[in-house]
Amino acid sequence: MNSNNENLQQQSKRSQKEECLALARQAGIETDRIPSHIAIIMDGNGRWAKQRGLNRSFGHQKGVETVKEITTTAARLGVNYLTLYTFSTENWNRPADEVAALMSLILTAMEEDLFMKNNVSLQIIGELDRIPDNVREAILGLRDRTSVNTGMTVILALSYSSKWEITGAVRRIAEKVKRGELQPEAIEEQTIADELATAFMPDPDLLIRTGGELRLSNYLLWQCAYSELYFCDTYWPDFDTQAFFKAIADYQSRERRYGKTSEQVADTSTIAQ
């Protein structure tokens, strides 16, 4: 009986994945060229709520539903890494009641069933020592329990900023130099990259920011040196699967040159073929 249930679940998952890929193709996406790593700045929750005469916390609650939808869609598309700017170090300066509400919502968003159903694992980057004990213990526990999953990895950037991350990397490198473990002239870009919180994953191919702002807000500054940036006016609570498809289709329409000319990129592609 259990075997039959497992087979039905697997068939359902395959059907949902195939349906998602079909919808993506209808939206103009080449499903064999999905970005491996997508990073998102989830902006606009507060303004979404204000437009409707609601407390900011309602915007954050609606934003949690968007997190679940986009996580599910990304997993079905075959995205390998999805990094979500969940809470910045600057967000600690917000009103205490809003910070408390955000911390509570993080627990709501991190449903174990969401991760297990989609074969998704969890990682966290940021100053976790600043996170309330109950929240930190819950997300670290979920990280450990989902480590068996082999599909997409969701990375929560929580109490995170690039300045904090790079400062920490520089400090650790300086300590190695001081101990005589590393010569200053041996320091290269990779030396720094290896000390970043994101050393376990590739740099983002695509960074999406919702909410209409045109800045990176201290998010993955080192890692996004060659990422494609996509800004949209849609507030995060309204950013649905079709909006996600639109961002990916836009990404696929671009030519990633990494400082080269179009001709050089074309030559490289020809050689690779």
Beta carbons within 10 angstroms of residue 269's beta carbon = 10
- Do residues 210 and 229 make contact, with C-beta atoms less than 8 angstroms apart? no
Sign of CA dihedral 162, 165, 168, 170: negative
Cβ-based burial of 95 (10 A; exposed 0-12, middle 13-18, buried ≥19):
exposed
* Residue 129 is a catalytic residue: no
* Catalytic, out of 2, 5, 32, 43: 43
**Alpha-carbon dihedral angle through residues 247, 248, 253, 256, given to the nearest 10 degrees:** 110
- Do residues 209 and 247 make contact, with C-beta atoms less than 8 angstroms apart? no
* Catalytic, out of 55, 80, 91, 218: 91
Helices (H), the chain: 2-26, 45-51, 56-77, 96-109, 112-117, 133-145, 162-178, 189-193, 241-252, 262-272
- Do residues 251 and 230 make contact, with C-beta atoms less than 8 angstroms apart? yes
* Residue 43 is a catalytic residue: yes
Sign of CA dihedral 200, 206, 212, 216: positive
Supply the residues annotated as catalytic. 43, 91
